[in-house]
Structure 1
Amino acid sequence: MLRVKELTKRFGGLLAVFGVNFEVNPGEILALIGPNGAGKTTVFNLVTGVLQPNGGEILFDDRRLNGLKPFQIAALGIRRTFQNLELFTTLTVAENVMVGAYHTCRAGFCRSLLRRPGAMKEDRKLYDKALALLAQVGLADKADWPAGSLPFGQQRLLEIARALAGEPKVLLLDEPAAGLNHDESRRLARFLRSLADSGLALTLVEHDMETVMGVADRIVVLNFGTVIATGTVAEIQQNPEVIAAYLGKEVEAC
């Protein structure tokens, strides 16, 4: 569904991403891992149109995404969360999720401001949809709280619910387990697997290796902007180059 071919990005003289290739299919969880500064978030920014590549192609359902704006890519069915939280902290938890479904609304902005009956009815549907998504991430009882009052880990879960409100075909998650405790991380892993089982394609950047190893179908390992390994969890765990990248020295695979 999503294919990245020879993706390259330069920042002046810095080659941040070079020749990156991967694909993710419906019902699959692909993890992008690597040391800090490996280029993982840069890849997400390229796929979602925040940055434009200097080379390579990004294809979604065989449509070329190069040159499209972030809102255009989101409307096609690619949604994401962010490494640094990007919530509307003064809106309620439910309102944050409702914002994620803006492109599904038939009522225009002016009709919403004027509180026309059609717009009010649609708002009610969006609120009910938000409650259902919040229930999936364990936040339904906090729907009317200000989003900024949630603990950091729960704000992460709120971002996921907001991304899902847009009914994506591909979901990109940037460090979704950051700030979660052990039990929350395990629930998150089960939730991500249920999303994949429903047909969603997921790609995650994550430093929590327990979460990665427990949920990923395939793993792509980046180091200094290039792919050094691609494979299953078992293959990556035994790859000497991956071990060396993380430990900073050559280690024989067990």
Structure 2
Amino acid sequence: MRELIGKIHDADMAYYQQDRPIMTDREYDQLVDELQALETETGLILSNSPTQHVGGEILDELVPVRHTKPMLSAGKTKQVEDLVKFAAGRAVLLSWKMDGLTIVLRYENGGLQQAITRGRDGIIGEDVTHTVRTFLNVPLTIPIREPFEVRGEGVISWDNFEKVNLSLGGDYTHPRNLAAGSVRKLDSGESRKRKLEFWAFDLVSDTLEYESKLAQQELLQNSGFSVVPYIFLPESHTDQEVRDAVGAFQPKHFAY
């Protein structure tokens, strides 16, 4: 589906903005038909799908929303040996801590119902559903009917940041600042131009059952979410395997 969406968007760009068609109308229609068939078959529709035409929405203000469960901060360390000690004798999942704006997505009956920022205290955030619906990769519909929440990070890749920042006059020094401000725009049409993405790192549910953090991440991936890259180490891992896993997370391998 992502491959088809990419091809259709490239064709749209070439046809409408560059006046140099890269495929025939028949080929274009075949791609769209194939995408629509997959969306019907899987029950999954991504926010940047050309089958979805999300109109621009301009709000007067962002409405406060109370989180169902507090969004607490995790403990921090800059020492690898602290992680080695923490992981001793247990299965662990190591993943990136992405630098963007933390967002909670609420789903019910297979559809995105609401998107909320973390807020300063993790108790009350702001409703940003109008902008999140314009993200490149947020599932608008999914095959899961039970209500649940997905916590993740709203970010802009370095590649897209350099392009967007240039178009804005180069006023921003880091993708995080641009991402945070773009998510909270009152005009969703402006947010759409910023090429925002959502990367999930946690699932919150009173009804969905999963045996482990690994099973939770796999459930999210299988439901169409982009999940923060991770490395899973079973209970039988060695201390050196933890050190090697931490060393494998180099910035050059993940440009966000």
TM-score by length of 2: 0.27
Higher relative contact order (CA 8 A, sep 6+): 1
TM-score by length of 1: 0.27
